[in-house]
């Protein structure tokens, strides 16, 4: 009211709700001269206008839901639409509508469509996946966008689309088919949905929106075509009789529309056990006069209450019910059946009477599609997981540390295997956590699909996925990376025979992909790359057709802390900066050391990113366009460790700290690298380089111990630390102190002690031969490409690689 008339009301009548009688509310009233009037408890008659208005709105909303055959948890959408109707319609004869009185203009009633009817949202040609892909996506009309001539359409992936380009079938109401609610819910799911306030929706702005012609859009938007039901995309058989389904549950399988010839997209990251609080936003459709805003709608308890028929085949179901009605339900049912077999075979639990006052843990089914290194679908996987977040510390779990093999260790083992011409195979431990016995008494509620009689529950005898202590239990038996095992041995068959006698394993044969990394072995080398993942990242951010650049960062650009204005501009983009940097970080720690410095720099601004940081990230993606085939090549080599340690002095504009870069080689094979900002400010380049040598010495001793544990003989002659700063090397070898170095923290002088014990050697290399310079600063094209060949290689032929580099050089 103040924004419209520049004045506040004098009197406000309300009940005794907690929000109305709060101190903050009263203070606001007093500061603006508003007199509050509170009704007596349980006397709504004292505020008749508001109470009767709420009742009328509720009745309208109920009628909208019933007519459209929509579930009750969409009550918030129905209420908003009912209020919208009340505002545009006159309350009495010869009385203007509230909308007209407020805006001094009449509402365009041609915009009105029937709530809950079928709506087809147009997909611009630029956003389609192919010539024969769908030109529209079917949804349900939920209402209208205030302030713009757009409709709100609920799409099958549970997002709300704001669009002006919509075709309606106003006599078709797909709500019943859209939400295939069963007569009774499965165990652990309430049969009545708790009504919560309508969820807030945050719009997503899309960059690079190009204007569309003024014609055609409005004409097509306002048209209504004769109603015709969608053709089902194919009939799915009912679940096999052996599948355990709660009695009385009538499973209805009705796909929303035909499946596309190929997947729209592929998920890169794995799902967590607990459902994410934030979901990835899909790219908004563009190329319209009025921006089509794609938003994520968190429907109130939708995941728990309603099994939704998923229209996008690449989106794994989030619940057991969704898996039963998804397009590939047969594959999910088979995965569920295999998981149940594993639970029974390993005697994971026993059925007991529920003890009094015991804490029952809930469970959740986690579904995942497993892809190989080339992005091809390998299998459907289902896991029954406990919701470990509700476990009581100290009572239901103790230690939770989850040791996993480091990527550097894996590269070292692979190099040793190549050097000795050993076999390199890959195995997967089936349901790895189910092999470990629990020391705490834990009880589970019956999971979906595994019902029990009243008063019964499952008592866990062995660990299952999701428990806090599960990761710690398994490596006590076998050291693996969770459940992935890489075997390097002159005779892998003997090891496989021994381990399969005790554990249920899946033999994946010679190593082809491991932890999202593709491995290609030739007669004398092993190439590790992540081309498929890079391509998915580029598609996710719409950069697959961008022009490439020859360096990951512009050497003339310095990233500083974003100010409030820069941060606000970035927030308007509605992009997940943390996820974006995290995706590139996995490339940087796995197969792409050339990305380590840019990722280190970008990750320093995760809490408050700005436009400058997002531009730097987009440039990094352009660099990946031209270098997506790069990776690591390991070959037979000697067992000599040499480490390059370098530092750039005070190159952080915000803190003036220096940056350390490390490269560790086993012979000619790069097995480890690090790029990070130093923990304190250095007073000179000598001190910065001295700190880098200290970190390099630590890495050498770690690999030294690892080689000794593998029964390899090592000596100081086979372990060398290399630096390009003569004063820092002299400081490490000479115990004499001076006024310029006496302030250096004593921990860095640990390096002197290790050198005196003759555990490794320290040598000088010229700056032109310092390979770690690539990990300390942004370099110009010539120097970057000169050092790139020492850290990365390509599985492409020399002709293809030469042409690609030539194109990058021209850019």
CATH 3.40.630.30 fits 638-788, yes or no: no
How do residues 447-476 score in pLDDT, each as one tens digit? 877 778 788 887 877 766 555 455 444 333
From first CA to last CA, the distance across the chain in angstroms is 57
What integer pLDDT is reported at residue 28 of this predicted model? Answer: 84
**Could you say which DSSP state residue 282 is in?**
P
Taking CA atoms, 292 is separated from 10, 280, 283, 469, 572, in Å, by 40, 18, 10, 46, 15
Q: Long-range contacts for 85-92 (Cβ within 8 Å, ≥24 apart)?
A: 85/60, 86/56, 86/57, 86/60
Q: What mean pLDDT is predicted for residues 564-574?
A: 90
3-state SS, 324-356, equals HHCCCHHHHHHHHHHHHHHHHHCCCEEEEECCC
Every domain of the chain with CATH number 3.30.420.10 lies at: 2-105, 638-788
The vertex-771 CA angle with 768 and 774, nearest 5°, equals 100
Report the side by side order of strands in the sheet with 526-529. 513-514, 517-521, 526-529, 631-634
What integer pLDDT is reported at residue 150 of this predicted model? Answer: 86
3-class secondary structure, 425: strand
CA 597/CA 618 separation, integer angstroms? 15
State which H helix or E strand residue 693 sits in.
helix 685-709
Residues ≥6 apart with Cβ < 8 Å to 252: 180, 182, 325
pLDDT bracket for residue 579 (50, 70, 90): very high
pLDDT bracket for residue 662 (50, 70, 90): very high
* Token pair belonging to 576: 């997940």
Nearest to 693, CA basis, from 741, 749, 738, 746: 749
Taking CA atoms, 804 is separated from 550, 616, 801, in Å, by 10, 22, 5
* Token pair belonging to 654: 């915000």
Query: Of 230 and 539, which is predicted with more confidence?
Result: 539
Residues ≥6 apart with Cβ < 8 Å to 125: none
3-class secondary structure, 191: coil
CA 409/CA 729 separation, integer angstroms? 28
Question: What is the DSSP secondary-structure string of 380-417?
Answer: EEEEEEE-GGGPPBTTTB---------HHHHHHHHHHH
Residues ≥6 apart with Cβ < 8 Å to 273: 364, 366, 385, 387, 388, 465, 466
Nearest to 669, CA basis, from 634, 714, 643: 634
Q: What mean pLDDT is predicted for residues 83-92?
A: 83
Lowest mean pLDDT among 13-22, 152-161, 644-653, 762-771: 13-22
* Token pair belonging to 726: 């003569």
Look at residue 674 and tell me whether its pLDDT is greater than 50: yes
3-state SS, 627-683, equals HCCCEEEECCCCCCEEEEEEEECCCCCCCCCCEEEEEEEECCEEEEEEEEECCCCCC
pLDDT bracket for residue 438 (50, 70, 90): low
Residues ≥6 apart with Cβ < 8 Å to 724: 646, 689, 764, 765, 766, 767, 769, 770, 773
CA 60/CA 295 separation, integer angstroms? 26
Look at residue 190 and tell me whether its pLDDT is greater than 60: no
Beta bridge partners of 719: 641
Q: From the CA atom positions of the chain, what is the Rg in Å?
A: 32
How do residues 487-521 score in pLDDT, each as one tens digit? 887 777 777 777 777 777 777 888 888 888 999 98
Residues ≥6 apart with Cβ < 8 Å to 358: 443, 457
How do residues 687-728 score in pLDDT, each as one tens digit? 999 999 999 999 999 999 988 887 788 888 889 999 999 999
Nearest to 343, CA basis, from 359, 329, 363: 363
Domain 2-105: CATH architecture, name and number where available = 2-Layer Sandwich (3.30)
User: pTM of the predicted model, to two decimals?
Assistant: 0.52
Residues ≥6 apart with Cβ < 8 Å to 22: none
How do residues 588-617 score in pLDDT, each as one tens digit? 999 999 999 999 999 999 999 999 999 999
């Amino acid at each position: 009211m103040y924004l419209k008339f520049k004045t506040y009301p004098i009197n406000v009548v309300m009940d005794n709700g907690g929000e109305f009688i709060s101190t903050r509310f009263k203070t606001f009233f007093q500061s603006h001269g508003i007199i509050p009037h509170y009704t007596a408890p349980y006397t709504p008659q004292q505020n008749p206008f508001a109470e009767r208005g709420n009742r009328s709105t509720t009745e309208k909303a109920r009628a909208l839901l019933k007519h459209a055959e929509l579930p009750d948890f969409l009550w918030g959408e129905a209420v908003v639409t009912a209020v919208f109707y009340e505002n545009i319609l006159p309350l009495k004869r010869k009385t203007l509508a509230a909308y007209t009185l407020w805006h001094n203009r009449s509402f365009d009633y041609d915009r009105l469509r029937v709530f809950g009817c079928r709506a087809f949202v147009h997909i611009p040609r630029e956003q389609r996946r192919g010539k024969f892909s769908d030109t529209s996506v079917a949804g349900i009309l939920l209402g209208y966008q205030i302030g713009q001539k757009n409709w709100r359409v609920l799409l099958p992936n549970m997002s709300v689309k704001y669009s002006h380009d919509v075709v309606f079938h106003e006599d078709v109401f797909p709500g019943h088919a859209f939400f295939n609610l069963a007569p009774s819910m499965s165990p652990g799911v309430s049969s009545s949905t708790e009504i919560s306030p309508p969820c807030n929706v945050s719009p997503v702005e899309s960059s690079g929106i190009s204007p569309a012609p003024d014609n055609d859009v409005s004409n097509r938007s306002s048209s209504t075509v004769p109603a015709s039901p969608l053709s089902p995309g194919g009939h799915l058989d009912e679940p096999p009789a052996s599948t355990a389904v709660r009695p009385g549950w009538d499973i209805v399988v009705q796909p929303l529309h035909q499946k596309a010839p190929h997947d729209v997209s592929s998920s890169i990251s794995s799902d967590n056990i607990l459902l994410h609080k934030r979901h990835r936003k899909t790219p908004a459709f563009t190329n319209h006069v009025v921006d089509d805003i794609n938003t994520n709608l968190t429907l109130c308890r939708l995941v728990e209450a309603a099994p939704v028929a998923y229209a996008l085949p690449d989106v794994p179901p989030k619940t057991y019910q969704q898996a039963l009605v998804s397009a590939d339900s047969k594959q999910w049912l088979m995965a569920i059946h295999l998981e149940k077999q594993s639970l029974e075979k390993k005697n994971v639990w026993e059925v007991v009477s529920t003890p009094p006052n015991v804490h029952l843990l809930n469970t959740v089914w986690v579904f995942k599609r497993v892809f190989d290194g080339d992005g091809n679908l390998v299998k459907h996987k289902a896991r029954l997981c406990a919701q470990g977040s509700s476990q009581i510390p100290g009572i239901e779990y103790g230690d939770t540390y989850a040791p996993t093999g480091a990527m550097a260790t894996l590269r070292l083992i692979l190099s040793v295997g190549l050097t000795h011409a050993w076999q390199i195979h890959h195995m997967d431990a089936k349901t790895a956590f189910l092999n470990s016995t629990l020391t705490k008494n834990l009880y589970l509620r019956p999971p979906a699909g595994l019902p029990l009689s009243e008063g019964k529950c499952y008592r866990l005898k062995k660990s299952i996925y999701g428990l806090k202590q599960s990761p710690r239990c398994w490596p006590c038996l076998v050291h693996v990376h969770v459940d992935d095992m890489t075997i390097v041995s002159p005779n892998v068959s003997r090891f496989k025979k021994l381990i399969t006698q005790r554990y249920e394993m899946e033999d994946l044969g010679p190593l082809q992909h491991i932890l999202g990394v593709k491995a290609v072995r030739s007669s004398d080398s092993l190439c590790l790359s992540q081309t498929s993942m890079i391509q998915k990242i580029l598609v996710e951010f719409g950069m697959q057709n961008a022009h490439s650049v020859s360096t990951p960062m512009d050497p003339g650009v310095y990233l500083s802390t974003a100010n409030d204005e820069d941060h606000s501009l970035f927030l308007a983009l509605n992009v997940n900066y943390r996820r974006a940097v995290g995706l590139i970080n996995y490339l940087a720690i796995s197969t792409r050391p050339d990305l380590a410095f840019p990722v280190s720099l970008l990750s320093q601004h995760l809490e408050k990113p700005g436009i400058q940081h997002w531009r730097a990230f987009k440039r990094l993606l352009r660099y990946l366009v031209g270098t997506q085939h790069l990776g690591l090549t390991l070959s037979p080599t000697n067992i000599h460790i040499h480490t390059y340690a370098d530092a750039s002095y005070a190159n952080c504009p915000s803190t003036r700290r220096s940056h350390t870069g490390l490269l560790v080689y086993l012979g000619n094979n790069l097995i480890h690298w690090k790029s990070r900002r130093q923990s304190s400010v250095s007073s000179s380049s000598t001190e910065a380089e001295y700190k880098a040598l200290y970190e390099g010495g630590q890495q050498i001793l770690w690999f030294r111990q690892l080689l000794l544990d593998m029964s390899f003989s090592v000596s100081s002659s086979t372990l060398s630390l290399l630096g390009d700063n003569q004063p820092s090397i002299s400081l490490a070898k000479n115990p004499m102190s001076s006024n310029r170095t006496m302030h250096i923290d004593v921990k860095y002088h640990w390096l002197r002690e290790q050198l005196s014990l003759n555990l490794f050697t320290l040598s000088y290399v010229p700056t032109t031969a310092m390979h770690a310079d690539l990990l300390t600063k942004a370099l110009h094209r010539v120097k970057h490409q000169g050092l790139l060949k020492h850290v990365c290689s390509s599985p492409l032929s020399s002709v293809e690689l030469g042409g690609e580099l030539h194109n990058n050089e021209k850019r």
